Amino acid sequence: MKRFITILLLAAFSGSLLHAQTSTQKIEIPIGRIGFHDNIDKEQLAAKKFDGKADDLVQVSDDQTINLQVTNALIKQVDDMQNEIELDSSLDHRLKIKYLSGLYIMLHDYNVKRSYRRIAPEEAPAMVKAYRDMMHADIKGESILPYIQNLSFDAGEKMIGAFKDNPGFKDATGVMFAKYAFNHLETVMTEISNYLEYPATDSIIAAVAKKYPNQILTYATSYTPIATVIKRNQDPLVQQIVQIGNSGQSTRILPFIDELLAGTTTIDKLSATVADDDQYYKQMVKTSIILQQRKNNGESPMGLKAMMENMQAKSLKYIREVNDLHEEPAPVRFRIVKDFTPEELYYLIINGQEELYTSSYTNHNNAGIYDQMMARMKPSRGDSLLMLVSFDRFKKFIAMAAGFNTLDNFLKSMAPENSNYLMKKYVSALEKTEDLEDAVDVANSFGSIRDPQLLSFLREEVRKNYVYVSKKKERRGTVIYELLGSLFDTETEKSTDSSKASEMSAKLQLPPINFVSFNSLQSDSGRVYEQVFFYGDKDGHESYLSFMSNFPGGEWKVTKGKYWTTITSLKGKPVTIFANLPIAEPDDKDAIQKLSEYLDENDIHPTVFIHRGHSYHINTTLDNLQSSARIVVLGSCGGYHNMSVVLEKSPEAHIISSKQVGTRFVNEPIIRALDETIRAGKNVDWVEMWAGLGRRFAGDPRNKELFSDYVPPHKNLGAIFIKAYRQIMKDAK
């Protein structure tokens, strides 16, 4: 529609766009509005070209009827509206631009969301009809509200923006926000401040309270207008949260909200209990078991998520004390848990996956947390223990037992039929979980199980599950079990590490997993860049000083700045290492930020990233990870969440992690071997490097055990599983 617009007057429409009877009339368009029509035409053309075919059909479905309806709406009906706007003599130039602009915004928003799969493309007819109805109502000075009720949020959010002067705009905005809110309960509280006076706000807050009570508690105890709205909300759950907020121990009491609502306890009773750390932990264990029973029965306990978070934080405090006393006699080292029940020790284990020392878990004196847990069971049966804890996260426990080489002991503590049933459950229903954590745990355990009979049994169970989900045509489950089967088939005693890795890469159609080529580490200039993260606590200072001792003069040039140190190779291939200074907390994060800004400004993209710090610092490291990463050393922080984040940001990364807390006595030799390999211009061969490190630690009894808990990339089956799964699902789109 350039200089003239063609008016299509339908004489008949018999269900086919190809046989419409039309007559035409040409109307001149003022030059001031031609551009608005052009923009609309471009969006119509984009809609038709979306499927890559240069035809006149908007293809959104395999159903041709739906395609014709969408085409009719986006092409013919939009053309009709353009004509109608131009022909309406009651509209001045400003109003015609207003309605043409709104029409363009609707089309553009639809096309963008369709490309990101954020809208059902078959909504187009409803969108076009709603816009026409709103335009007619607006011209008459009537409310647009009745015409947006049946639209989804994604369909209507941008569309109503054209009608900001309409008497129904505010109410329509409220309705749209409600549509958004109930589908985004996890994040809606950050946006609710602009909608506090809308009728739906109370219902939204009540809905958030059921799924994320901790968020309501946070806002209820704030000095904001949101707090006032929460406090006047009449929902019983919201009021209970408000009462919890009035106590002095609100964050500790919140996880017990299910019991408070049931009337089995009171805030006063809980206040006395949670004031004592040991009693608080013991009460969390009791309540967690009850909540897990309810979950097993199909219920959705409200306090479960907060309970898990609080219990993990408390568990780690106990575990860190036991870890820190690793050189003390057992009675001193484990004194803090001497009165714990088997259930309480079980929860320490499953909450301490990323920090539990091997010798804290089990040791030659049979004094470890696992050893004491089993010894205190009367009788000492693993199946009885799992029944006591309502099988809460038992798959996590099984995976840890495999990793710490106690799975055989645990399974033999029960009758064979029960152990078989347990392991069947371990590898079943992995397709039903929200994320891949259980499947990754199963994958990780494959590399630790050495019992041939158990491996054979699990292979068969994986095969059975694969057959089951594939018959149901369950795509996600089929991929999960197919990958697990491939990982299992490569885990044979006859294979060498190199042959296993090569076979695995080929089967999973992945790039090599046993080495990283030197060329892939180089920047365009041929230099290899490395970034190392340090933190400002005592451990961070010691780690930094130890790290810096690895770069003797004559081989490396060291330049210390205000926020970071730059280390440059003087011999061998060009390598530059950036290490932020371990400035006292919280300024250590500023140093990391300053370094990251410098790298961005200078277009420097490291390919090697190394985390040197406790697990509670890992999120800062991950936030600064770049997609260029090819090697990531996480130390102790190799849990599912962290591996998932790394591979989301850096899909090609090879990850080194540990089953326990990292130590500089192991980290330094690994990093030194890595840097020297790179400086020599060699491919980083993990099998070769790990063999050399194994020989190095063979004569170091103190750190040999710690090194054995480090997992090299070619044996990091969890990370390999995530890579392969994402690649397959990506290719299937």
How confident is the model over 210-232, as pLDDT tens digits?
999 999 999 999 999 999 999 99
pLDDT at residue 638 greater than cutoff 70? no
Q: Work out the percent of the chain whose per-residue pLDDT is above 70.
A: 93
Min mean pLDDT across 21-30, 42-51, 688-697 is at: 21-30
pLDDT of residue 73: 94
Mean pLDDT value of segment 698-719: 85
Backbone φ, ψ for residue 657 (5° rounding): -140, 180
- Using pLDDT thresholds of 50, 70 and 90, give the confidence band for residue 11: very low
Answer whether residue 310 shows pLDDT above 90.
Answer: yes
Summarize pLDDT for 403-430 with one digit per residue, the tens. 888 999 999 999 999 999 999 999 999 9
* Token pair belonging to 625: 């990870």
User: Model confidence at 23, in pLDDT bands (50, 70, 90)?
Assistant: very low
Instruction: Kindly report, residue by residue over 538-585, the tens digit of the pLDDT.
Output: 888 999 999 999 999 899 999 999 999 999 999 999 999 999 999 998
What's the token pair of residue 283? 């009460």
Exposed / middle / buried, residue 184 (Cβ in 10 Å: 0-12, 13-18, 19+):
middle
Exposed/middle/buried for 262, CB within 10 Å: 0-12, 13-18, 19+? exposed
**Whole-angstrom distance, CA of residue 347 vs CA of residue 285:** 7
User: 213-220 vs 236-245: helix axis angle to the nearest 10?
Assistant: 50
Helices 213-220 and 304-324, packing angle to 10 deg: 90
Q: Can you name the residues that pair with 635 across neighbouring β-strands?
A: 657
Coil/strand/helix, residue 11: strand
Query: What burial letters (b/e) apply to 319-335, b meaning 16+ CB within 10 Å?
Result: bbebbebeeeebeebbe
Strands, E assignment, 431-574: 515-516, 528-533, 556-560, 564-569
Structure-model confidence comparison of residues 663 and 63, the more confident one: 63
Tell me what percent of the residues of the chain surpass a pLDDT of 90.
68
Is the pLDDT at 16 greater than 60? The verdict is: no
Q: Is the peptide bond before 379 cis (omega within 30 degrees of 0)?
A: yes
7 has pLDDT over 50 = no
Across the range 175-191, mean pLDDT stands at 92
Neighbours of 586 (CB within 10 A): 9
User: What's the CA gap between 501 and 515, in Å, rounded?
Assistant: 9
Distance CA 29, CA 40 (A): 14
117 sits in which H/E element: none
Tokens 């290719």 — which residue? 731
Taking the mean position of all CA atoms in its chain, how far away is CA 117? 19
Partner residues linked to 12 by β-bridges? 21
Please state, as a whole number, how many other Cβ atoms lie within 10 Å of the Cβ of residue 233. Answer: 22
State yes or no: pLDDT of 17 exceeds 70: no
Task: State residue 10's pLDDT score.
Answer: 35
Q: What is the pLDDT of residue 1?
A: 47
Q: How many CB atoms lie within 10 A of CB 285?
A: 22
Give the separation between CA 654 and CA 721, rounded to whole angstroms. 12
Are 344 and 336 a contacting pair, CB within 8 Å? no
| Contact assessment for residue 547 and residue 633, using Cβ atoms and an 8 Å cutoff | no
Residue 227: what pLDDT?
96
Q: How far is CA 483 from the centre of its chain?
A: 21
Please enumerate in sequence order all residues whose Cβ is within 8 A of that of 683, keeping only pairs 6 or more positions apart, or say none. Answer: 515, 516, 517, 518
If 0-12 CB within 10 Å is exposed, 13-18 middle and 19+ buried, where does residue 573 land? middle
Confidence of residue 733 (pLDDT cuts 50, 70, 90): low
Q: What is the structure's pLDDT at 115?
A: 82
**What is d(CA 337, CA 328) in angstroms, rounded to the nearest whole number?**
15
> Quick one: pLDDT band at residue 20, thresholds 50, 70, 90?
very low
- H-state helical runs in 389-451: 394-403, 407-411, 416-426, 437-446
In this model, does residue 21 exceed pLDDT 60? Answer: no
* pLDDT at residue 324 in the model: 87
SS3 57: coil
C-alpha 102/C-alpha 139 separation (Å) is: 14
How do 684-685 and 515-516 pair as beta strands?
Answer: antiparallel
Q: What is the pLDDT of residues 510-540, one digit of tens each?
A: 888 889 999 999 999 999 999 999 999 888 8
Give a three-class secondary structure readout of 279-303: HHHHHHHHHHHHHHHHHHCCCCCCC
* Rounded Cα–Cα distance for residues 665 and 390 (Å): 40
What Å distances lie between residue 174 and 109, 163, 193, 198, 493, CA to CA?
20, 14, 12, 6, 64
In whole angstroms, what is the distance from residue 615 CA to residue 161 CA? 46
The letter for the amino acid at 682 is K
Three-class DSSP category at 640: helix
Q: Is the pLDDT of residue 442 over 70?
A: yes
SS3 494: coil
The span from the first CA to the last CA of the chain, in angstroms, equals 36
Stated as kind and residue range, the H or E segment containing 84 is: helix 78-87
Residue-level pLDDT at 512? 85
563 near 581, Cβ under 8 Å? yes
Count of beta carbons in the 10 Å neighbourhood of residue 566: 15
Q: Using only C-alpha atoms, what is the Rg of the chain?
A: 31
The CA–CA distances, whole Å, from 209 to 42, 191, 288, 689 equal 45, 16, 19, 52
pLDDT at 55: 83
Which conformational region is residue 366 in: left (phi greater than 0), alpha (psi within -120 to 50 degrees), or beta? left
E strands present in 509-630 = 515-516, 528-533, 556-560, 564-569, 575-580, 608-611
Tell me: pLDDT of 6 over 50: no
Q: How far apart are CA 58 and CA 46, in angstroms?
A: 9
Q: Residue 347: which of 310, 384, 322, 383 has the closest Cα?
A: 310
User: Shortest CA distance to 531 belongs to which of 517, 545, 547, 518?
Assistant: 547
500 vs 494: CA distance, rounded Å:
9
pLDDT at 80: 94
**What is residue 659's predicted lDDT score, i.e. its pLDDT?**
66
In contact, 657 and 710? CB cutoff 8 Å: yes
Mean pLDDT of 281-304: 94
Angle at 558 between CA 557 and CA 562, to 5 degrees: 150
Quick one: tokens of 245?
A: 């907020």
Top pLDDT among 498 and 163 is at 163
pLDDT for res 413: 96
| Strand spans (E) along 542-699 | 556-560, 564-569, 575-580, 608-611, 631-635, 654-658, 684-685
Q: What mean pLDDT value characterizes the chain?
A: 89
Residue in this structure with the two tokens 């990870």, named with its chain if needed: 625
Compute the distance between CA of residue 464 and CA of residue 452 in angstroms, rounded to an integer: 18
Q: Would you say residue 2 has pLDDT above 80?
A: no
Regarding predicted confidence, which is higher, 490 or 108?
Answer: 108
CB 177 within 8 A of CB 184: no
Residue 343 has pLDDT above 90, yes or no: yes
- How many residues in the chain? 733
Tokens of 537: 């606590």
pLDDT above 90 (res 682): yes
d(CA 239, CA 231): 7
640 pLDDT higher than 60: yes
Record the pTM.
0.69
On the question of pLDDT at 8 being above 80, the answer is no
Reference 694, options 710, 671, 682; nearest CA is 710
Residue 237 has pLDDT above 80, yes or no: yes
Q: Assess whether pLDDT exceeds 80 at residue 308.
A: yes
**Given this model, what pLDDT does residue 704 score?**
85
Please give the pLDDT value at position 732.
61
Output the pLDDT for position 116: 79
Please give the structure tokens belonging to residue 32: 């001031």
